[in-house]
Structure 1
Amino acid sequence: MYYPFTSKTEWEVVKWVKLHGSSSTTFLDLLSIDGVKQVVITGEAFDVYYHDIIKCVKSLYSDLDFARYLTFAPEWHYTDEDQTVCLFHDMHTGKWWWEMQKKLDEHCPGGTIVLIIISSDKTQVTMFCNKTAYPIYLTIGNIPKEIRHKPSCGTHILLAYLPTTCLEHMTNKASCCRTIANLYHACLCRVLALLKPAGLDGVLMHSGDGALHCCHLLFTSFVGDYPEQLLATGIKFRECPKCDVKAKDTGSNMVPFHLRKLGEVLDALAALDHGNLAFVCACATAGVRPIIHPFWEDLPFANIFWAITPDVLHQLYQGLIKHLLGWLSAAFGAAEIDTCCRWLPPNHHIHIFTKGITCLSHVSGAEHAQICCFILGIIIDISLPDNLDVSHLLRSVQGLLDFLYLAQYPCHSSETLHSLDEALDLFHENKEIFIQLAKDAYCATNHKDEFIQMTCWLEQKEKILWHLKYVTWCLAGGHQSEPYHSHPPDMTFRHELVMTRHPSAKAVSIQKLVEDYGATHFHEALTCYITRHSQSGHPEPLQDQALENLAGNIHFPFQSLPVFHKIKCKGHVTLDSVHAKPQQRSGSRLVAHRCHLVANNYLPTRLAIFALPPKSIPLLFPPTFDIPPHLAYIEWFTPFPSTPDRNNGLYKLSRSMRSSDRVASVELVGDIEHSVHLIPRFGDIAPQEWTSETVLDDCNTFWLNSYIDRHINNFANLAQEGFPDVQQPRALQLGAR
């Protein structure tokens, strides 16, 4: 009878909103509606709006879209037949579910656990006069994370809106904070109250496939940023919401720590029955705030300190990386770091900060993630003041970045978790360099208004060092060091290549390929490719000189070729893109051709993607040869070194040259596996004539950027374990003729 409203409560609330004015009885009329609840704290009433949590869980559990993906029991996953290396990639593969299943079976054998995940984040609603909303969301861990993490799948339900208030009438700040915390927990107690009987006694629920389960709804995880974690656990600011490490010891890896003991905390909370003073003292001893009945106190099998989840955005990007940028700016100088940032070569994954990174304010998590992609590479060759050893600083930065990328692996094993510990140990072993640099700045002051003085001291020293580097570079003739040569590891990316149906340019002349696309030796490279494959049935492989002689007799039956400017590489979770665009004129400025380097056994310095006209193929190749639809002109870098640099963990590369000319060839586009990014070796001071658009041509030596994304980072970690030797591609020296 209340259609189109879903319930009587919804109809009554909407009617109240539309018909009632701001009279003295308006608020009482709202509270008289069945379903609108009120929480009273220190004599003040607050409204809390929420759904029935059991109905919300049932709607997710019985959703037909999730039926085939739901998990109902814990599992062990292994990487080997001997079951020595465990895999952890979702909630049903973790240890928590196993332990809870054992506890539940002791209480109620055969029950199915439904993992309740609660998340919250106070939101600023700028469209409504800067008002705040406090939403609480619900999802269940029985739905795989690959589905839960996609907002479009509808796996999260808006469970409640908590009241937001600053309690401005309370002048005592400590009392105000305690009251807000108690309000938060009192509201959540009301919202989650039905979880207590549902967790102990179970609820009959149908899954999407029609099967009936006796489900026990257990509070499992709480997702929120650091302030939310402190509010939920009752832990004081600057302390860890999960373990018992002291605030002063959070920067050390030598102090032992353990998960906070829930039993001791519950005992302290029970001291409320013995009076306020005893309650406050007991809570202080247990290391928690004096919260009256936190929402998790009576939830069955719940441990709030287990439930807190890591926060990559705030704790790693906005926390760890923010501090790292400040340390590096103080160590190397903002000007030199910003210069190197502006001159990085473009890449599909890289954002070029044209104004540098040290001047950014209110840096977002996405911007911090972008900075992580290149920060190590741009500081490798910059010198520290007082001739301090830069290797310790590079290793500490490498350790932090490795930890950051490892922590975001979608699937962990007992081995990768060990690597996570090793990365953190690498930082702690070398972090003293940051302390030493800070002490140098502090000692140069008179210890009064030291922050202002330290800033001036660092700025002056930075300018001196900057000019010193410039002078040193000029005296050295402005040349880069000699290229580095060694042997390549085999890259193991596996992506599906996707080409556009139609070329970006239907008819590009060979002359334009040479001039605008940078394909300097295109004619010679293509003739060698044709010669090599037209002789594929020869009983003995022809030598390079013989191939070159035959290649000189080949004439192209075409004047122009279709050219493609982009390749998409689709992987399991990422979409990569490789660009090969011609140079263009932007007003009076000539914009250089754009090439995103691609990975197989070698790296190209230049790339042009094209196809051969179908009518010309029978004239150039034997009938038995299956010509691929797309080819690529490539000028090569040297092979990968067998090991990365010991100070920074990156691979050093240089141009592949033969007789003072570049090595080039035509290869299959199918050999392209992933775009990569190279960071120029800037030296002590970056040459002023370099630009982002020309640096790939101006610089001779580069660092392979292994922090472009976690897949490249995973390759770099695997590469250090050793790769089999690979054969050098058949690339003839083409420039001599």
Structure 2
Amino acid sequence: MAPPLSYVASAEERYGDVLGRINNIHAPFASKMDWELHPLVREALGLSYSNSVQLNAIIDAKLPGRPKFTHSEVVVGGEAFELYSRNIIECVRALFGDTDFAPYLFVIPERHYADQDKTIRLYHNMHTGKWWWNMQKQVEANNPGATIIPILLSSDKTQLTMFGNKSAYPVYMTIGNIPKEIRRKPSRRAYILLAYLPTSRLTHIKNKAARRRTLANLFHTCLSFITAPLRTAGIDGISIASGDGVTRRGHPIVACYIGDYSEQLLVTCVKTGLCPTGTVKYKDGESTCGARSLEAILDALDRLEEGGTVYTQACKEAGIKPVVHPFWQELPYTNIFLSITSDVLHQLYQGTIKHPIEWLKEACGEAELDARCRRLPPNHNIRLFMKGVSNLNRVTGREHDQISRFLLGIIVDAVRGILDFKSIFVDLGIRTDFNLPELHRCEHYSPDIKLFGTSDNYNTEYTERLHIDLAKDAYRATNRKDEFSQMTLWLERKEKIQRHHKFIEWKRNGSPLPPIVETLHPGIIYERKLTMPKHPTHKAVKFTTLETAYGAPFFRDALSRYIVQLTDPSLTLNQIEHEANSFDVPFNSLPVFQRVKFSTSDTYANNGPTDSIVDSIHVQPQKILKNGDQIPARFDTALVNIGIGGKTGISGYRIAQVKVTILPPNIVPPKYLAYVEWFSAFKPQPERYHSMYKVSRSIKNGDCLASIIPFGPVAPVSCKSHTVLDECPTFFANPWTDRHVYATLY
């Protein structure tokens, strides 16, 4: 599918051609100093420009960049509105042709499986979803050799000022050919600001219904103008070059529209309270959501010329509002109702999670809920809310994300999962129904993932972050008058400077070809790697201190067993114990580390692991500050591969509490060792009602089982966060703390 058509110059070579092939790599600037020096000293040094006006003139006239913004007037209801937008086809070319993305671009759909029998399908980036596969078939039927370019659009109004009513209505776009691991990083510039929509509130229209109708028509008129080039390009295709110089015939097609619930209703022309994706029907207390008939809706939209009354009635019967020419009406291959994607930020973190928190306050009581929060043991990827969660104000999406990682664990004796515990709140009289759009949307996550890949492909969290760079910062650079013309110009210049900086670095590095990235085997899950400090926290800690302050009473015995077994691996357990009893460790102190960092690759990345520091394991005894304050001891737990664990699944894994991490002498390989106390092995299946594994400390003759390894219903008053691991008899292994633990335990 989609074979390359030909080869042209790479993106960097084409950029150099625009500037002119000259020896000065900083051109159109006279020299490196001319390019990098601060404007205040340029005139004294006789540079090519002496003020910002002359500098901007060079940038505007001589530096190529991403597509320019154009100022247009859109007329709706006899009133003209200002629209600042870019050519969407040129934006597609800019993203697809970026050299930074060339080694990673997806150009054909793929099916990935977790098993050799191909019975368990894997979904991650967009090219692994069913939408791309089906679209390739449809387009190929008429245009063999097509390359699908999935377009993701997103819009959201945002405030520009802390006070007053200045706002912007940006529309962003990206393409699904770029991996989500790149798209979610603002610094990679994988999103383009496509337009600023008019922000008029039409307050002169006094009738609220008429005002809402006009605002909807204005939105769709603007989007129709912006997306108009896709009507022919999606069918016939366009010649498009990637950053490595390979040209293909690309078919840009709107695949996803990313937005919060109100934006989804505006895009689909569906009434408030309804599902923007399908029609919900209730029977015997159960609800089912059937797909909307795009054909019936398009037939209703075609009846506009029959008059307002007929058109309104036809749209009502089809289940939409009577918007004049929705922008998606003439887009090829686009079913806008399937394009509306689930939104983790607004629908889960800011929507679904906030409801059970409020219900649990009534079910358990705020004091009990907060008490359980304070008694969670500290660990990496878990934020402790030591003051509880009941009194939090203006909770952000990130805080709801952090709360959701442990919420089920602290109330597991009271309720189960978000989709299973509804009846409990009805029985308690906390809720009478659950007709909430956020809860209903949970039904669409599985279909959305199968269509477009995992939900981090289309999360509004990323586009919300773009408001800072592409709206708020741009506004601050203006004089607050006729701001949008200044904002767009400021953004164009900023993009040109960034692009030229990248070109100069490319020239300085000898004009290298784009790197070739080997596509890794689908379904492989990469393990965590340890990143140790260069120097230990303490150079020499005596064994007696390890046994008392670090809570490792059997450290000397465990180390003896480890050395004996390392010396002769053929010994049986009884022989190891016998030899260890008479073994004399030839030293009595060791260098100790109190923090171990994790360098983790993306669990589901397909184009190479992207290492990032996730967090740290803390291994530190109680500390008394100079003012007398005490910092409690902290010894984190870890999921340990005992040597037979695979990439996924619980087999071969045990949970252990890390009490000491040491740098042994050269006589004891490997380089790093840890003294751990074990928890019981995992049962074959998790607990029935909440899918968590129950474990307890491994005890023998009243003592915790420990080794040296290479590298209740009501919260008790006496139990604290730093003592809970010692005082509680059983624990639940939580698979939802992060994606890596989920891949192993769930």
**TM bracket, shorter-chain basis:** 0.7 to 0.9
Map 1:163-242; keep pairs closer than 5 Å: 163-242=198-277
Aligned to 2:188: 153
Aligned to 1:593: 633
Describe the shift of the 1:71–1:640 C-alpha distance in structure 2 as closer, same or farther (beyond 3 A). closer
Deviation at 1:696, TM superposition (A): 2.0
Describe the shift of the 1:495–1:235 C-alpha distance in structure 2 as closer, same or farther (beyond 3 A). same
Map 1:527-566; keep pairs closer than 5 Å: 527-536=560-569, 542-543=574-575, 546-551=578-583, 554-558=584-588, 560-566=589-595
Aligned to 2:149: 114
Deviation at 1:150, TM superposition (A): 2.3
Deviation at 1:610, TM superposition (A): 0.8
Map 1:424-439; keep pairs closer than 5 Å: 427=420, 431-438=422-429
Aligned to 2:717: 688
Describe the shift of the 1:127–1:541 C-alpha distance in structure 2 as closer, same or farther (beyond 3 A). closer
Map 1:271-670; keep pairs closer than 5 Å: 271-381=303-413, 390=414, 393-394=415-416, 397=417, 400=418, 427=420, 431-438=422-429, 494-536=527-569, 542-543=574-575, 546-551=578-583, 554-558=584-588, 560-573=589-602, 575-586=614-625, 587-600=627-640, 601-614=653-666, 617=667, 627-668=669-710, 670=711
The higher radius of gyration belongs to: 1
Describe the shift of the 1:253–1:585 C-alpha distance in structure 2 as closer, same or farther (beyond 3 A). farther
Deviation at 1:222, TM superposition (A): 0.9
Matched, 1:86 2:121: yes
Does the 8 Å contact 2:92/2:175 carry over to 1? yes
Deviation track 1:539-588 (CA, whole Å, cap 9, x = no partner) reads: x664365235313xx15334x32111122222322624211012111433
Describe the shift of the 1:199–1:43 C-alpha distance in structure 2 as closer, same or farther (beyond 3 A). same
Matched, 1:76 2:122: no
Describe the shift of the 1:663–1:8 C-alpha distance in structure 2 as closer, same or farther (beyond 3 A). closer
Aligned to 2:301: 269
Counterparts of 1:78 and 1:687, CA distance in 2: 46
Counterparts of 2:291 and 2:109, CA distance in 1: 23
Deviation track 1:665-722 (CA, whole Å, cap 9, x = no partner) reads: 3221x2xxxxxxxxxx3x3x322122212222232322222221233233332xxxxx
Does the 8 Å contact 1:519/1:606 carry over to 2? no
Deviation track 1:128-187 (CA, whole Å, cap 9, x = no partner) reads: 745211111111122222222222222111111111122222222111111111111111
Deviation track 1:357-385 (CA, whole Å, cap 9, x = no partner) reads: 1222322221111112211221234xxxx
Deviation at 1:334, TM superposition (A): 1.7
Deviation track 1:713-736 (CA, whole Å, cap 9, x = no partner) reads: 33332xxxxxxxxxxxxxxxxxxx
Identity of aligned residues (%): 44
Describe the shift of the 1:307–1:526 C-alpha distance in structure 2 as closer, same or farther (beyond 3 A). same
Counterparts of 2:285 and 2:258, CA distance in 1: 26
Report the 3-state secondary structure (helix = DSSP H, G, I; strand = E; otherwise coil) of the residue aligned with 2:536.
Answer: coil
Counterparts of 1:644 and 1:86, CA distance in 2: 23
Equivalent position amino acid for 2:546 in 1: L
Deviation at 1:657, TM superposition (A): 2.3
Describe the shift of the 1:195–1:380 C-alpha distance in structure 2 as closer, same or farther (beyond 3 A). closer
Equivalent position amino acid for 1:686 in 2: A
Equivalent position amino acid for 2:669 in 1: I
Equivalent position amino acid for 1:74 in 2: P
Report the 3-state secondary structure (helix = DSSP H, G, I; strand = E; otherwise coil) of the residue aligned with 2:177.
Answer: coil
Equivalent position amino acid for 2:531 in 1: V
Deviation at 1:8, TM superposition (A): 11
Counterparts of 1:705 and 1:541, CA distance in 2: 32
Does the 8 Å contact 2:561/2:577 carry over to 1? no
Deviation at 1:291, TM superposition (A): 0.7
Describe the shift of the 1:52–1:80 C-alpha distance in structure 2 as closer, same or farther (beyond 3 A). same
Aligned to 1:28: none
Does the 8 Å contact 2:223/2:327 carry over to 1? yes
Equivalent position amino acid for 1:582 in 2: P
Counterparts of 1:561 and 1:710, CA distance in 2: 35
Report the 3-state secondary structure (helix = DSSP H, G, I; strand = E; otherwise coil) of the residue aligned with 1:653.
Answer: strand
Does the 8 Å contact 1:532/1:547 carry over to 2? no
Report the 3-state secondary structure (helix = DSSP H, G, I; strand = E; otherwise coil) of the residue aligned with 2:135.
Answer: helix
Does the 8 Å contact 2:426/2:432 carry over to 1? no
Describe the shift of the 1:707–1:102 C-alpha distance in structure 2 as closer, same or farther (beyond 3 A). closer
Report the 3-state secondary structure (helix = DSSP H, G, I; strand = E; otherwise coil) of the residue aligned with 1:634.
Answer: strand
Counterparts of 2:392 and 2:121, CA distance in 1: 42
Does the 8 Å contact 2:106/2:127 carry over to 1? yes
Describe the shift of the 1:606–1:197 C-alpha distance in structure 2 as closer, same or farther (beyond 3 A). closer
Counterparts of 1:441 and 1:38, CA distance in 2: 49
Structure 2 unmatched ranges of 5 or more: 1-53, 434-524, 603-611, 641-652
Which stretch of the first structure deviates more once superposed, 626-635 or 252-261? Answer: 252-261
Matched, 1:4 2:58: yes
Which stretch of the first structure deviates more once superposed, 496-505 or 599-608? Answer: 599-608
Does the 8 Å contact 1:633/1:665 carry over to 2? yes
Describe the shift of the 1:537–1:96 C-alpha distance in structure 2 as closer, same or farther (beyond 3 A). closer
Report the 3-state secondary structure (helix = DSSP H, G, I; strand = E; otherwise coil) of the residue aligned with 1:435.
Answer: helix
Report the 3-state secondary structure (helix = DSSP H, G, I; strand = E; otherwise coil) of the residue aligned with 1:278.
Answer: helix
Which of the residues 60, 68, 73 maps onto 1:38? Answer: 73
Counterparts of 1:89 and 1:537, CA distance in 2: 45
Counterparts of 1:566 and 1:441, CA distance in 2: 49
Describe the shift of the 1:252–1:95 C-alpha distance in structure 2 as closer, same or farther (beyond 3 A). farther
Q: CA RMSD in A?
A: 3.0
User: How many pairs align?
Assistant: 576
Report the 3-state secondary structure (helix = DSSP H, G, I; strand = E; otherwise coil) of the residue aligned with 1:602.
Answer: strand
Describe the shift of the 1:686–1:95 C-alpha distance in structure 2 as closer, same or farther (beyond 3 A). closer
Aligned to 2:441: none
Counterparts of 2:531 and 2:62, CA distance in 1: 53
Report the 3-state secondary structure (helix = DSSP H, G, I; strand = E; otherwise coil) of the residue aligned with 1:687.
Answer: coil
Aligned to 1:387: none
Deviation at 1:266, TM superposition (A): 1.4
Counterparts of 1:510 and 1:69, CA distance in 2: 51
Counterparts of 2:255 and 2:526, CA distance in 1: 36
Counterparts of 1:647 and 1:35, CA distance in 2: 57
Structure 1 unmatched ranges of 5 or more: 15-33, 382-389, 401-423, 443-491, 618-625, 671-680, 718-737
Which stretch of the first structure deviates more once superposed, 90-99 or 688-697? Answer: 90-99
Describe the shift of the 1:253–1:9 C-alpha distance in structure 2 as closer, same or farther (beyond 3 A). farther
